[in-house]
Structures are given as structure tokens and as C-alpha cells.
Amino acid sequence: MTLSPGTRLGVYEVTAQIGAGGMGVVYRARDTRLDREVALKILPELFISDPQRVARFQREAKTLAALNHPNIGAIHGVEEANGLAALILELVEGTTLADRIAQGPVPLDEALPIAKQIAHALEAAHETGIIHRDLKPGNVKLRPDGAVKVLDFGLAKAMEPVDGAANVSHSPVITTPAVTQAGSILGTAAYMSPEQARGKPVDKRADIWAFGVVVFEMLTGDRLFTGATISDTLASVLKTDPNWRALPPAVSPRLRELLRRCLDKDPKRRLRDIGDARVQIEDLLAGAPEETGAAMIAGTLPTWQRVVPWVATGFLAAGFVVVLLLLATWPKASPLAPVRLSTELGAGLRCVCRAEKRRWKPPDLRSTTDPTEGDAVAGDRRRREPVLFARRPLDRIFRRRQAEEGCCHGRCGHHVVRRSERSRRGVERGRHNHF
């Protein structure tokens, strides 16, 4: 049903038709009560005939009306009259981004500010738990003053059947044939994320995918995923990789990498937060150096650059653990063992010699059985006797140190032990020679 100028819908008077899309026909109208111009989106008859869908839509509309952001088209309310239901929207003057892309590629210095404002709008909606689900150039308005308005936030979910929210075949932008053109239906399919095309539940990462597609098309001026039918378009989304060579040379490696992360077909590897994309774009607009690692966000590095550092870190950690285990199981030996050993030997020798000197008495040379021994032999015996008495305590010191150090003699104090052993063997020879 087409509304002619002058038609009244409650307090709203239709003045002209603006356009048509998968979720209804849009009219320019005047609010006779508040004397302001608004946009009326007349909902499809198929939708109105389902009371459950209407009730769900009214609940969702209340949530959407709470969105208040300069880059989001406001929702003023819902109006039902004359058997029709209409969504009252903010009237945004200007052309759509789709019209701008139809004229050719958007220069980088013009595309980046548009992309930043779209990311701002998505970020504000995601923070309140609202997902757009139908982001495309036709839902982005470019005002004459340079401001960007994203329209139809959350309407795809609001208009889904109550029992078919996760099935792509139930999507209102795909199944509403009465008021849509083939181009608009195919356009919606071309911006669906792979998981959305498979009919799986979606989250904010579906909007991040659509954001990547929109930015890619701004820079190239061509449709990223195409097909003669809806099925062909969805198959292209699922199987075709973007032609990265189509991006103009002015696109920096940093922006290319951001687009790669947005257009990762695996939602687990896709950019996690649209706010990260906004920060990246703001840095590009500010002229941040490309090589500045601190400016790169964690989710925008290619797979090999994200994996290699973790693998290297893992090997280093494993090597560190192995070293700790070896040190824990290695025979204990203090680095001060040679010093302690030599100090203990010297102290023990001095102590024993002093004790034995006090206990030792010179032998009675007059009672010796060998009259030929003489003064020289007696003097030599007096020099060796304290050392012979000291051998037994020193042997105990050596045995105790050997028990403590085990096989570590080669590393700690071996030169001291070797010299001490030579001294002991010399004492042993002297004792045998004496007796």
C-alpha cells in the first residue's frame, strides 16, 4: 500500500516518499503536534498480520528508543492507525553511503572520517547490548555538514519471527517481498557475516564483519561479495576471500591489517571489539607512525605475528623449567666449599697441633734401646711426632667433607682436596719411616 502526500497517520501527515527497503517504505512526514519533520517507516502487511511479531517489535522499539548518540538515527516511537503500523524516526537529510559509493571509490581522507563515525555508532550500541544486524551502505546517511548517521539499529531483530530468530530464511530483510527490490535484498545478503549466512546466532562480531565490508567497498568502489541470486551471494560470503589487491595503494599496511581482522570468516579470530577499530582509525587520522608497536591493538596482528611470540615464549619458559629441575636434582655443593674446606683444614690442623704439643713430652733419649740414634734422629722424631698425632683428626675431616660433597669434588674444592691428600700421603710415608 502506497501513501500519497497529505495522508494522515495519527498526528503525522505524509508529504513525500523517501525510499523503500527490506523492512518497509519510508516517507517524509510532518508531526502536526510538535511541528517538526520526521521519517515514517511503514511496516510490511505481512509483519502486521502477526500479533506476536508486533508485540515483540513494540518491546524492542522501546529499547532502541533509549539509544542517544550523535551518529545514530533516533527512534521517536511507534504509531498504529488505519490498519497500519509505522515507526517514527529522526529525519536525516543527505544522501546514503550507497549513493556515494555508486559514484566511485571514496578517497582515503574522506573514507576514514566516515568509518570512524560508523565505528562510534556501533560502539555506543554494543555497549548497551544492541546489535545492528543489517549494517550496509544503504543504512548510513551522510549529512551535508559531514556528520554520519547510522539508521535502522536493531530493527532486523525486532522484526524477526518469535520462533525463527536464528534462521536466516526468516530474516525480514530476506523474506519480505512485497515492498523490496531485488537489489536491496541482495544488498542485505552481501553484508551478512558467514555465521549469519549459515543461520547461526549472531553477536556484535556480525556488525564488525559488516563494518569491514562497508569500509572495503568505500575504498574500492566495488561490491565485495556478489551473486546473481541470494543463494549465490551467500555462497560468495561463505567461500570467497576478499581481493586485497583491489585496495588502492594509499591504504596503509595498518589499515589493511585492520580490514583483515574485521573480515576473518572465523568469528573467534575476528576483531573482538569495534572500539579497537575506532582507535586504530583515529590513530591513522592523527598520523600515528605505522611502526609504533604500542599503537597496535592486540587483536589486529596477523596470525603468524600473534602465534610466533607465544611459541617462542613457551620454549623459553620450558627451558627455564628444565634448568630449575636440573638444579633441584643436582648434588648439592656450595660455591664456598673450597674456602670452607681450606679454612677448616687449617683451623683443625692448628688446633690439633696445639693440643698435641701440650700433651706431648720429649722422649727420654737416655733410655733409648738404640744407642746409635743420636741427637739428629731424636730431633727429627720431635719434629714429626705432633703431625703424626694430628693425622687421625684430619682423616675425620676429610671423610666428612667427602660425604658432604659426594661427586662434586671436581667442581668445588678439588684442588684443595688434592693438595691435602698429597700432604696426608707425605705424612703417611713419614710415619712408616719413623716406625
CATH of the domain at 84: 3.30.200.20
The percent of residues in the chain predicted with pLDDT above 70, rounded, is: 62
Active-site option among 99, 134, 152, 232: 134
- Looking at residue 296, what is its pLDDT? 45
Mean pLDDT of 144-167: 72
Specify whether 141 is located in the same domain as 209. yes
Residue 376 phi/psi, 5-degree rounding, is: -65, -45
Domain membership of residue 308 (yes or no) is no
Domain membership of residue 123 (yes or no) is yes
| Range from 258-267, 341-350, 419-428 carrying the lowest mean pLDDT | 341-350
Specify whether 79 is located in the same domain as 110. no
Specify whether 107 is located in the same domain as 250. yes
Q: How many domains does the chain have?
A: 2
Specify whether 245 is located in the same domain as 112. yes
Burial of 140 (0-12, 13-18, 19+ CB in 10 A): buried
Average pLDDT score over the chain: 76
Which domain, by its residues, includes 264? 95-159+184-286
Specify whether 154 is located in the same domain as 60. no
- Looking at residue 293, what is its pLDDT? 41
- Look up 163 and say whether it is catalytic: no
- Looking at residue 295, what is its pLDDT? 43
What pLDDT band is residue 104 in, cutting at 50, 70 and 90? very high
Residue after which a domain boundary falls, among 48, 72, 90? 90
Report yes or no: 9 and 82 within 8 Å, Cβ to Cβ: yes
Domain membership of residue 359 (yes or no) is no
| Range from 233-242, 276-285, 350-359 carrying the lowest mean pLDDT | 350-359
CA 162, 207, 155, 44 torsion: positive or negative?
negative
Specify the higher pLDDT residue, 416 or 188.
188
Specify whether 66 is located in the same domain as 28. yes
Specify the higher pLDDT residue, 251 or 49.
251
Specify whether 118 is located in the same domain as 206. yes
Specify the higher pLDDT residue, 37 or 433.
37
Written in H, E and C, the secondary structure of the chain is CCCCCCCEECCEEEEEEEEEECCEEEEEEEECCCCEEEEEEECCHHHHCCHHHHHHHHHHHHHHHCCCCCCECCEEEEEEECCEEEEEEECCCCEEHHHHHHCCCCCHHHHHHHHHHHHHHHHHHHHCCCCCCCCCHHHEEECCCCCEEECCCCHHHHCCCCCCCCCHHHCHHHHCCCCCCHHHHHHHHHCCCHHHHCCCCCCHHHHHHHHHHHHHHHHHCCCCCCCCCHHHHHHHHHHCCCCHHHCCCCCCHHHHHHHHHHCCCCCCCCCCCHHHHHHHHHHHHHCCCCCCHHHCCHHHCCHHHHHHHHHHHHHHHHHHHHHHHHHHHCCCCCCCHHHHHHHHHHHHHHHHHHHHHHHCCCCCHHHCCCCCCHHHHHHHHHHHHHHHHHHHHHHHHHHHHHHHHHHHHHCCCHHHHHHHHHHHHHHHHHHHHHC
Specify whether 22 is located in the same domain as 149. no
Residue after which a domain boundary falls, among 54, 75, 90? 90
- Looking at residue 305, what is its pLDDT? 52
What pLDDT band is residue 164 in, cutting at 50, 70 and 90? very low
Mean pLDDT of 312-327: 74
Domain membership of residue 393 (yes or no) is no
pLDDT tens across 128-138, in order?
Answer: 989 998 999 99
Specify the higher pLDDT residue, 351 or 225.
225
Q: Is the pLDDT of residue 368 over 70?
A: no
Specify whether 149 is located in the same domain as 273. yes
Sequence-distant (≥ 6) Cβ neighbours of residue 435 within 8 angstroms? none
- Looking at residue 300, what is its pLDDT? 45
Domain membership of residue 272 (yes or no) is yes
Mean pLDDT of 350-357: 60
The percent of residues in the chain predicted with pLDDT above 90, rounded, is: 42
Specify the higher pLDDT residue, 218 or 315.
218
What pLDDT band is residue 404 in, cutting at 50, 70 and 90? low
- Looking at residue 221, what is its pLDDT? 96
Q: Which long-range contacts (CB under 8 A, 24 or more apart) does 262-265 make?
A: 262/208, 262/209, 262/211, 262/212, 262/215, 263/209, 263/212, 263/213, 263/216, 265/194, 265/238
Q: Is the pLDDT of residue 353 over 80?
A: no
Domain membership of residue 328 (yes or no) is no
| CATH number of the domain bearing residue 223 | 1.10.510.10
Q: Is the pLDDT of residue 30 over 90?
A: yes
- Looking at residue 180, what is its pLDDT? 37
Specify whether 117 is located in the same domain as 223. yes
Q: Is the pLDDT of residue 330 over 70?
A: no
Specify whether 228 is located in the same domain as 243. yes
Residue after which a domain boundary falls, among 48, 69, 90? 90
Domain membership of residue 197 (yes or no) is yes
Specify the higher pLDDT residue, 14 or 382.
14
Specify whether 243 is located in the same domain as 153. yes
| Range from 199-208, 287-296, 323-332 carrying the lowest mean pLDDT | 287-296
Domain membership of residue 68 (yes or no) is yes
pLDDT tens across 263-273, in order?
Answer: 999 999 999 99
Q: Is the pLDDT of residue 328 over 80?
A: no
- Looking at residue 160, what is its pLDDT? 59
Cα separation values, 153 from 68, 123, 184, 295, Å: 12, 12, 17, 30
| Range from 30-39, 88-97, 248-257, 287-296 carrying the lowest mean pLDDT | 287-296
